[in-house]
Homo-oligomer: A and B are copies of this chain.
Amino acid sequence: MFENILANISKVVSLTGEEEELLTSQLICRQIPRKTVLLRAGEICQFEGYIQKGCVRVYCMDEGGNEVTIIFAVEDWWISDIASFQYQVPSALYMETLEDSEIYMLTPEKKEKLLQAVPLFERLFRMLVQRRLSTLQERLVDTITKSAADRYVEFVAKYPTIINRVPQYYIASYLGVSPEFVSKIRTRLAKQGKHLSEE
């Protein structure tokens, strides 16, 4: 049952059997139907979760009411609004499942219990945040320097599975462009691809 999450963690830190059991004993396993809202802006995020199955979209609203997708989290990803979770302050984010999902969750108390009991868990979560920071930084640079078309191509290359799992207008809101423009990018790429394969 917990092979996936334990394998995920073992890439970061080496837990003893006991420590693994302590971890899994704290996890709350939830089956969540698609289109379920897990978190709304203004609420306090009460979970840090590992996605065993399914897909969750994390997003926020700008002042104009436009959605900006922060991540699509699929199998083997962790999700949380760390700031809201850590300091128990209202979140600025929304989270919702895009598919029927199975998520293992920690509450603030249960996470704290782990951290207190085993310092290695501090390290684990530090590593997870570090990784997330690196990818986010890379994405910021891409957003600043690359054209929408380049970002689209890169997204497809990086997350080939996600493309087929989420509607195109969500991809647009991740890339930071209008849905119409994503459509235009795709037709342009399709034509180019055709040209190339005809030569």
A125 to chain B, nearest CB (A): 6
Count chain B CB atoms within 10 A of each CB in A125, A131, A133 and give the residue with the most. A133
- 8 interchain residue pairs of minimum CB distance: A119-B119, A122-B122, A62-B145, A144-B176, A126-B126, A83-B134, A129-B129, A133-B133
- Which of A25-33, A97-105, A135-143, A162-170 makes up part of the contact surface? A135-143
Residues of B close to A63: CB separation below 8 A:
145
Q: Can you list 21 pairs linking A and B with CB atoms under 8 Å apart?
A: A60-B141, A62-B141, A64-B145, A68-B141, A68-B144, A68-B145, A83-B130, A83-B131, A83-B134, A119-B122, A122-B123, A126-B129, A129-B129, A129-B130, A132-B133, A133-B136, A139-B140, A140-B143, A143-B143, A143-B176, A145-B176
Residues of B close to A62: CB separation below 8 A:
141, 144-146
Residues of B close to A15: CB separation below 8 A:
none
A66: Cβ under 8 A from any B Cβ: yes
